[in-house]
């Protein structure tokens, strides 16, 4: 910069610099504001509570890019570009605010140590950014990684960053050629300057001045370009992390049925401002799509596509005019895509900036179901049965306790008390296969001397299938009745073998005034093993792969308890599937999909069974009745019954404990 000032004069340098900066800043603000204005069309939503937690999130997920490392290589690349960006941004801030380069400004401090450190950092990150940008281009154009669609936006950005870095290094190298002493360790600049030995000093000086300006104009250009590109995520991403949902993962927003006039998202403005902010923040990295079980099995749903399509709709609808006013569902987002989601939450778990994909689909389902009465026809039977028989199977409600008829299990009536209230769930009560699991659980709890009772025919479906299929009205009817029933009984805690019941009771009933201590059977059994109340004695020689159910793992963070239970069984060897824990792959039955036909693409349960077979276990174990059903069906349909069995972890433990 000193060279520039010497060449064209300090005054003109500053005039050009500040005028250009002012214009760029103005254009940047205009771009950003026009984007922000569309966000304001959303409905209100409070996202400013728990400030400390939100700020911690900024450090963890923005500064240290916590979630990006779920893809180690891509994560490293991204963090290097990001940190490089920060180092360089600091330099530009010095130029703008102090009128001189940072090394020069800092050289007086600590005998030049500070400027040396900065110079070294700048050089290293500069090199790493160049390397990362080249790798990013290779990943897109040569490796053609599927989740990264090739688009001009991404290429423009990569090219801009590359040119900014290239001009930086050439200017540095020319400086050395002209006898300037750089601060810190600058190996690449040194090497580059070595190639310029033949250049005349005057030519080098002219080139340096031209390139310095080019560099600055590229920076300003980037500033102008940013709010107009998908690289808006640089600006909005951190805010999106700050305003992320801190509600329980499994809690859908409650609808005020008595007072609301419309339900769900008919138009883009029916989404909350945060939901619209998500759309602007998306960097289109495709990690969501990469983990989507619906996408992986050729359903017409991609969580990434969903965001992009809604974003386009957001901007198109903002232009106003007499455009078509058809609802989003069916026009912007295909209905089959809306119903394809299993609400497995893999997309949200992967998103580096905490975009909430699932809720967007849920609002579309709510619109279709509540406003239009339109949903896959199979759901009608489930809804009607839930209305009259309080379970999604076509079985009379008075049969709910039949599974326990010969068990002498105590029914907890109004006003009565127990330590553990066993919440059976519809699967445990009505599905023959899962009745066995319920019976095994009762047996284990009795052996452990637990004081246990159940609600018999007073229990009703928790409401999860209705809620996830968009039928909030039916959900609330069932949930309110259950909350009343539970409030009229005394118990220390509720235990259930169904992660869907667990999630609904623990995460969603508080919305309706039902605050209960709810644990999953895995947690209780783990505890009973730890305290020695249960002693697995018999050997169960088997290689077991544990499948993390979505509503157990991703939704309720229960990953270790089932593994500890399996570990406690003599003879069991645990073999993890490639996709495990928070990256687990859905069985296909969540989100009410249990009650719908799967007739597009291939089957999700088949895909998961194949993933299990890859690691060759004897048993695929889970802690969810839906998963168990899906795996049993999958194993049968794929004719793998000879080598693979599906069991609930409860049954495996029961086999071992029962052998004493």
Partner 1 sequence: MNIIVCVKHVPDTEAVIKPHPDGSGIALEGSNYVLNPYDEYAVEEAIRIKEANADATITVITVGPDDATKSLRTAIAMGADDAIHLNDPAFLETDSQGIATILAAAIRPLPYDLILCGKQAVDNDCAQVGAALAELLGIPGISVITELSVETGKATAHRELEGATEIIECTLPALFTAQKGLNEPRYPALPMIMKAKRKEIKTLDASALGLSPGDFAPRSRRLKVSSPPPRQAGRVLEGKVSEVVTEVVRLIREEAKIL
Q: How far is the CB of 385 from partner 1 (least distance, A)?
A: 7
Q: How far is the CB of 395 from partner 1 (least distance, A)?
A: 6
The C-alpha angle 57, 59, 61, rounded to 5 degrees, equals 60
- Quick count: other Cβ atoms within 10 Å of Cβ 64? 14
Three-class SS of residue 408? coil
Q: What is the CA radius of gyration of the chain?
A: 30
Which of 119, 120, 96, 116 has the alpha carbon at shortest distance from 14?
Answer: 96
Q: How far is the CB of 458 from partner 1 (least distance, A)?
A: 12
DSSP class of residue 61?
I
Residue whose CB is less far from partner 1, 335 or 527: 335
Residue whose CB is less far from partner 1, 203 or 394: 394
Q: How far is the CB of 380 from partner 1 (least distance, A)?
A: 6
Q: How far is the CB of 379 from partner 1 (least distance, A)?
A: 8
Q: How far is the CB of 69 from partner 1 (least distance, A)?
A: 44
The Cα–Cα gap between 361 and 342 comes to: 10
Q: How far is the CB of 411 from partner 1 (least distance, A)?
A: 15
Residue whose CB is less far from partner 1, 278 or 458: 458
Residue whose CB is less far from partner 1, 262 or 539: 262
Which of 359, 351, 364, 366 has the alpha carbon at shortest distance from 252?
Answer: 359
The Cα–Cα gap between 394 and 391 comes to: 8
628, 647 contact by CB (below 8 A): yes
Which positions lie near partner 1, rule CB under 8 A? 257, 261-263, 369-373, 375, 377, 380, 383-385, 388-389, 394-399, 457, 472-473
The Cα–Cα gap between 88 and 124 comes to: 11
DSSP class of residue 401?
T
Residue whose CB is less far from partner 1, 7 or 372: 372
Residue whose CB is less far from partner 1, 373 or 513: 373
Residue whose CB is less far from partner 1, 160 or 379: 379
Residue whose CB is less far from partner 1, 27 or 370: 370
474, 452 contact by CB (below 8 A): no
Contacts with 370 (C-beta within 8 Å, 6 or more apart), sequence order:
263, 264, 470, 471, 472, 473
Q: How far is the CB of 257 from partner 1 (least distance, A)?
A: 7
Q: How far is the CB of 383 from partner 1 (least distance, A)?
A: 6
- Edge-to-edge strands of the sheet including 490-496? 410-411, 452-454, 417-423, 490-496, 518-520
Three-class SS of residue 410? strand
The Cα–Cα gap between 265 and 275 comes to: 11
Residue whose CB is less far from partner 1, 430 or 626: 430
């Amino acid at each position: 910069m000193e060279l520039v000032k010497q060449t064209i004069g300090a005054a003109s340098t500053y005039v050009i610099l500040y005028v250009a900066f002012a214009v760029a800043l103005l254009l940047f603000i205009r771009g950003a504001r026009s984007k922000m204005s569309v966000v304001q069309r959303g409905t209100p939503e409070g996202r400013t509570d728990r400030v400390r937690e939100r700020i911690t999130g900024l450090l963890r997920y923005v500064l240290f890019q916590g979630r990006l490392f779920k893809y180690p290589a891509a994560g490293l690349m991204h963090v290097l570009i990001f940190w490089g960006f920060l180092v360089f941004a600091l330099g530009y801030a010095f130029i703008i605010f102090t009128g001189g380069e940072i090394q020069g400004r800092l050289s007086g401090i600590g005998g030049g140590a500070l400027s040396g450190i900065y110079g070294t950092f700048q050089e290293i990150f500069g090199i790493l950014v160049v390397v990362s940008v080249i790798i990013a281009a290779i990943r897109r154009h040569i490796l053609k990684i599927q989740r990264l669609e090739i688009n001009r936006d991404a290429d423009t950005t990569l090219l801009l960053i590359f040119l900014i870095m290239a001009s930086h290094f050439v200017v540095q190298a020319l400086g050395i050629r002209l006898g300037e002493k750089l601060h810190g360790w600058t190996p690449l600049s040194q090497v580059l300057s070595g190639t310029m030995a033949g250049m005349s000093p005057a030519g080098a000086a002219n080139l340096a001045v031209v390139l310095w300006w080019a560099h600055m104009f590229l920076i300003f250009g980037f500033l102008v370009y940013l709010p107009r590109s998908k690289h808006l995520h640089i600006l909005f991403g951190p805010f999106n992390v700050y305003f992320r949902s801190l509600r329980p993962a499994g809690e859908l927003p409650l609808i005020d049925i008595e007072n609301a006039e419309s339900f769900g998202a008919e138009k883009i403005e029916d989404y909350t401002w945060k939901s619209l902010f998500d759309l602007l923040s998306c960097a289109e990295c495709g990690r969501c799509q990469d983990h989507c079980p619906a996408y992986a099995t050729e359903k017409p749903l991609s969580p990434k596509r969903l965001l992009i399509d809604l974003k386009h709709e957001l901007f198109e609808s903002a232009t106003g005019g007499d455009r078509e006013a058809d609802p989003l569902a069916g026009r912007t987002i295909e209905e089959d895509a809306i119903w394809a989601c299993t609400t497995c939450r893999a997309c949200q778990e992967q998103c580096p900036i905490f975009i909430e994909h699932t809720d967007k689909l849920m609002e579309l389902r709510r619109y279709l179901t509540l406003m239009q009465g339109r949903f896959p026809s199979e759901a009608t039977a489930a809804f009607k049965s839930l209305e009259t028989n309080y379970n999604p199977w076509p079985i009379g409600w008075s049969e709910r306790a039949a599974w326990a008829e010969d068990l002498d299990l105590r029914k907890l009536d109004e006003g009565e008390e127990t330590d553990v209230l066993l919440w059976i769930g519809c699967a445990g009560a009505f599905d023959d296969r899962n009745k066995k699991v319920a019976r095994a659980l009762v047996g284990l709890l009795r052996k452990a001397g637990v004081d246990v009772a159940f609600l018999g025919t007073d229990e009703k479906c928790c409401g999860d299938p209705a809620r996830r299929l968009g039928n909030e009205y039916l959900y609330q009817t069932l949930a309110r009745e259950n909350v009343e029933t539970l409030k009229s009984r005394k118990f220390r805690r509720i235990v259930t073998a169904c992660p869907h019941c667990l999630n609904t009771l623990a995460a969603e009933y508080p919305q309706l005034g039902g605050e209960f201590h709810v644990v999953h059977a895995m947690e209780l059994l783990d505890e009973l093993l730890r305290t020695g109340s249960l002693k697995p004695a018999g050997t169960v020689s088997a290689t077991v792969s544990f499948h993390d159910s979505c509503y157990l793992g991703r939704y309720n963070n229960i990953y270790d308890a089932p593994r500890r239970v399996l570990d406690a069984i003599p003879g069991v060897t645990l073999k993890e599937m490639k996709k495990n824990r928070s990256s687990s792959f859905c069985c296909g039955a969540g989100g009410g999909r249990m009650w719908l036909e799967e007739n597009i693409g291939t089957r999700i349960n088949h895909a998961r069974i194949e993933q299990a077979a890859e690691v060759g276990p004897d048993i695929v174990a889970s802690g969810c009745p839906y998963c168990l059903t899906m795996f049993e069906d999958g194993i049968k349909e794929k004719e793998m019954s000879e080598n693979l069995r599906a069991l609930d972890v409860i049954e495996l433990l029961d086999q071992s404990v029962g052998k004493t």
